[in-house]
Amino acid sequence: MPTRPCWVEIDTSAFKENYRFLRSLVAPETELMAIVKADAYGHSLNLCAPAAVSAGARWLGVTSVEEGVVARLACPTARIAIMGGIFPGQGPAAIEHSLTPVVWDMGQVDEIENAARTVGGASGSVPVHLEIDSGMSRQGVAPGEIGPVLARFGGDSPLRIEAVMTHLYASDEAGGETTGHQLQRLEDAVSQIVQEHATRPQWLSVGASAALLGTDAAAIATLAHRYGLKPMLRPGLALYGLAPHFSPAFEAGEFPESLSAAQGSLRPVLAWKTRVASVRTVPAGAEIGYNGTFVASEPMRLALIALGYADGLDRHLGNRFSLLVRGERAPIVGRISMDQTVIDVTEIPGVEPGDEVVILGSQGTEAVSAFDHADVADTIPWEIFTRISSRVARVAV
């Protein structure tokens, strides 16, 4: 049965090109884990994870064991990191599907170790990534407290530390000092791990899109090499075609080459579309939508479109944003309803039921980006993407 027309188009070749472009920015031994958590930032894990693998990604990053199980079905040979940690009872599934948990507390170590022992895992046969809290105070072992955690590895433990990981929380601040401080704290932890852990971890996993495109990637690589580790970066947003905005921004002379190259080369992967359901003419004085927050000051032509805030369109965009129809900008008038929205097409001749409307993406020479949505909705592109509701079909193009 044909569905209500509200859908997202995913350009998997743009996604693959973005991965290859990011690859071209780093040295060959640097690993780029493709971050596909939260259903690939709303872009469909089932479409994007295999695209990442076919573009050369060896590692996928997801949030949870349940996301990992879905990724495993789509990508039988990829390495899959569980970045949000494992929860009680999830150890057996993590082992069964060869998922690699990020760990930072004893309960998690217990969970994965017990599951590994249950299946008779040989010593050092189950890799985990150990997260260090280098300053974000979100997850990770404090650098001064890794002794007891390290004591859980080695000997006959089935676990081994394959990567030391941390997350940078201010790598989108040009010229800031936070990342330097984080890397110092990380270095304290790495030197202790390299001394005390039976085998040397392979990777130092640090840095998301902003670190990769800004100025931090070189410092991460230097730190990794100093201890005989290989750098791993974990881009998400850039894979979906957006270079993060830096705030404060770079000074004119200090703009990183990788960032300007990214602005020219990354291609948006997602387009969000609907169709005009019906068109009406209203007289001057007509109130439009809940509470009549828009009143027509002259006769107007209005188009009803088949999406609302339950589809993920932020309600703050009512009376404050325009969508694209027939290649032109049509202002949203009145409040956005749960499932419907009204746009003003008075100035756009010929609009009729069935016309395609672009909510996010391009049409003709006009484009609406996730940054445009985020600016008006007072949020960030990551949230704009991830809250496009699951009832909106994702279609590969």
Ligand X SMILES: *Cc1c(COP(=O)(O)O)cnc(C)c1O
Annotated active-site positions, please?
37, 290
The CA distance from 328 to 358, in Å, is 10
Element (H, E) at 359: strand 356-363
Binding part of the chain for ligand X, among 103-111, 217-225, 230-238, 260-268 by CB under 6 A, reads: 230-238
Of the candidates 237, 307, 348, 368, which one interacts with ligand X according to CB under 6 A? Answer: 237
Tell whether residue 235 is a contact of ligand X (CB under 6 A): yes
Q: What angle do CA 54, 57, 60 make, to 5 degrees?
A: 115
109 binds ligand X (CB under 6 A): no
Minimum distance, C-beta of residue 347 to ligand X, in the bound complex (Å): 37
Question: How many chain residues are in contact with ligand X, going by CB under 6 A?
Answer: 10
β-strands 300-305, 341-344: how paired? antiparallel
Residues 152 and 44: their CA atoms lie apart, in Å, by: 37
Q: Are 61 and 45 in contact (CB under 8 A)?
A: no
Type of residue found at 350: G
Give yes or no for residue 35 binding ligand X (CB under 6 A): yes
Calpha distance 31→234 (Å, rounded): 8
Least gap, CB of 236 to ligand X (angstroms):
3
**Does 74 interact with ligand X (rule: CB under 6 A)?**
no
Q: How far apart are CA 333 and CA 293, in angstroms?
A: 8
Q: Decide: is 236 part of the binding site for ligand X (CB under 6 A).
A: yes
Residue 130: its H or E element: strand 126-131
Identify which of residues 43 and 167 has a Cβ nearer to ligand X in the complex: 167
Among 46, 209, 341, 363, which residue interacts with ligand X (rule: CB under 6 A)?
209
Q: Whose CB is nearest to ligand X?
A: 236
Site for ligand X contains 208 (CB under 6 A): yes
268 part of the interface to ligand X, by CB under 6 A: no
- Taking a C-beta distance cutoff of 8 angstroms, is the pair 256, 228 a contact? no
Q: Is 94 one of the binding residues for ligand X (CB under 6 A)?
A: no
Would you say 172 and 211 are in contact if contact means Cβ atoms under 8 Å apart? Answer: no
Using the minimum distance from each CB to ligand X, give the nearer residue, 94 or 351: 94
How far apart are CB 355 and ligand X at their closest, in Å? 34
244-263 residues near ligand X, rule: CB under 6 A: none
- Rounded to a whole number of angstroms, the minimum distance from the CB of residue 267 to ligand X is 16
The least CB distance from residue 37 to ligand X, in Å, is: 6
Angle made by CA atoms 125, 130, 135, in degrees to the nearest 5: 175
Q: How far apart are CA 380 and CA 385, in angstroms?
A: 9
Q: How far is the CB of 216 from ligand X (least distance, A)?
A: 12
Which of these ranges, 112-120, 233-241, 293-301, 337-345, lies near ligand X under the rule CB under 6 A?
233-241
Q: According to the binding rule CB under 6 A, does residue 90 interact with ligand X?
A: no
CB burial string 188-203: b at 16+ within 10 A, e below: ebbebbeeebeeebbb
Interface with ligand X, residue 167, by CB under 6 A: yes
Listed ranges 4-12, 21-29, 231-239, 365-373: which one lies at the site for ligand X (CB under 6 A) = 231-239
Interface residue with ligand X among 43, 72, 234, 373 (CB under 6 A) is 234
Beta bridge partners of 127: 160
Piece of the chain touching ligand X by CB under 6 A; list 71-79, 151-159, 219-227, 234-242: 234-242
Task: Give me the count of residues in the chain.
Answer: 397
CB 22 within 8 A of CB 32: yes
Per CB under 6 A, 83 contacts ligand X:
yes
Smallest distance, Å, CB 211 to ligand X? 8
Rounded-to-10 torsion of CA 307, 309, 310, 311: 50
Which helix (H) or strand (E) segment is 27 a member of? Answer: none
- The binding site for ligand X (CB under 6 A) comprises 35, 37, 83, 167, 208-209, 234-237
